[in-house]
Structure 1
Amino acid sequence: MTITTNRPAQSAVRLKLDGGQTRKAALDGAWWPRTTDAAAELPSLVEALGGLRGEITHVLLGATEWDMPHRRRLGAGSAAVRLGWFTSQPAGLVTVMTEFGRDRFDLLVVPPDATPDAAEAALSAAADSGDQNRAPEILARIERAG
């Protein structure tokens, strides 16, 4: 399932999710942000995921993959989302959690500098419920632009 938002094409969230009802895959999908500025990129991701599995309350990120400063809260829609920055978070993974820990999304983060073809392949692989590869394995196959 590809998610679209009511944003102009150049700022629409680039997100692809496994459309199945069961959670058998290692990943729930993938997100391709345009930059490594979490404060600029996360609101559209939270907006796109909001309501699919409950209200988004927390986002866990790899501390070394995003630009500084590492904020602890982010305004997204009508609510504030808590951000957690961890050096132990696997490379290329963002975990988006819903209220009361009821559910979560484990998403591959496609590097902003990935080529469009490599990004599309990664988005599709991560959203494929039959693909058991984790984020580091999929990232290893990504070709970078320029």
Structure 2
Amino acid sequence: MVTATRRSTVVPPSAPSIPRLRLAPVRASGAVLDGGWWPRSWDPADELPGLVMALSERYGRIRNVIANSGVWDDQFRRIAVGSDVVRVGWFTSLDTAMLIATTERGDQIDLLVVPPETTKAVADRAMRTAADPANLKRARDILLATPTPVPASTGAGRHLNAVRDDEGNVLEKAS
């Protein structure tokens, strides 16, 4: 886990992958989330470009992304995505199960982040809930309601099915 945020713009070493993403069919004013995303790893240089491109196609140019600094393998301030440079903010205060993207027009897109090691069935169910325009559950509550049958932690010491406080500390583990 990296503790310092790199100031240089990161240029991903490979072409963006197609993100495992489910977005609400319409943006509902009462919905808590706009959809769910299931990254394949905790490497933001590998995962963010495909996500940003998919969100840009749907909502317009993405100018920045905000994520929790406690779960991702690397931190940097900017990433090259196609011909754009997207700013990236890392915060311990953001729920580990959330990612926020902001468009050039200032629209905010709130996404559930399903841990990469989650099984397909559980991830699909969680993303479907997050993308439901009638959903009123927060990201953390969706993950608690769809516990994942995977080992409690990875080699990096992350608790995949844990609920964390705003500082990234494990509060409880979902069963």
Provide the TM-score with structure 2 as the length reference: 0.73
- How far apart, in 2, do the equivalents of 1:29 and 1:23 lie? 13
Aligned residues of 2:27 and 2:133 also touching (Cα < 8 A): no
- 1:127 corresponds in structure 2 to 131
| Structure 1 position 142, deviation (Å) | 3.0
- How far apart, in 1, do the equivalents of 2:60 and 2:121 lie? 32
- 2:53 corresponds in structure 1 to 47
Stretches (4+) displaced over 6 A? none
- How far apart, in 2, do the equivalents of 1:81 and 1:144 lie? 34
Q: Does 1:114 align with 2:118?
A: yes
- How far apart, in 1, do the equivalents of 2:109 and 2:80 lie? 19
- 2:154 corresponds in structure 1 to none
Letter in 1 for 2:102: M
Aligned residues of 2:112 and 2:139 also touching (Cα < 8 A): yes
- How far apart, in 1, do the equivalents of 2:71 and 2:133 lie? 26
Percent identity over paired residues? 43
- How far apart, in 1, do the equivalents of 2:90 and 2:27 lie? 29
Q: Does 1:12 align with 2:37?
A: no
The count of corresponding residues between Structure 1 and Structure 2 is 134
Secondary structure at 1:52 match in 2: helix
- 2:67 corresponds in structure 1 to 61
Provide the TM-score with structure 1 as the length reference: 0.87
Q: Deviations over 1:22-66 (max 9, x none)?
A: 332100000000000011100000010114222100000000010
| Greater RCO (Cα-Cα under 8 Å, separation 6 or more) | 1
Letter in 2 for 1:74: I
- 1:36 corresponds in structure 2 to 42
Aligned residues of 2:77 and 2:89 also touching (Cα < 8 A): yes
| Structure 1 position 104, deviation (Å) | 1.6
Q: Which of the pair has more CA radius of gyration?
A: 2
- How far apart, in 1, do the equivalents of 2:113 and 2:35 lie? 9
Q: In structure 2, list runs of 5 or more residues that go unmatched.
A: 1-16, 152-175
Aligned pairs (5 A) from 1:83-94: 83-94=88-99
- 1:143 corresponds in structure 2 to 148
Q: Deviations over 1:104-125 (max 9, x none)?
A: 2100000001011100100100
- How far apart, in 1, do the equivalents of 2:147 and 2:81 lie? 30
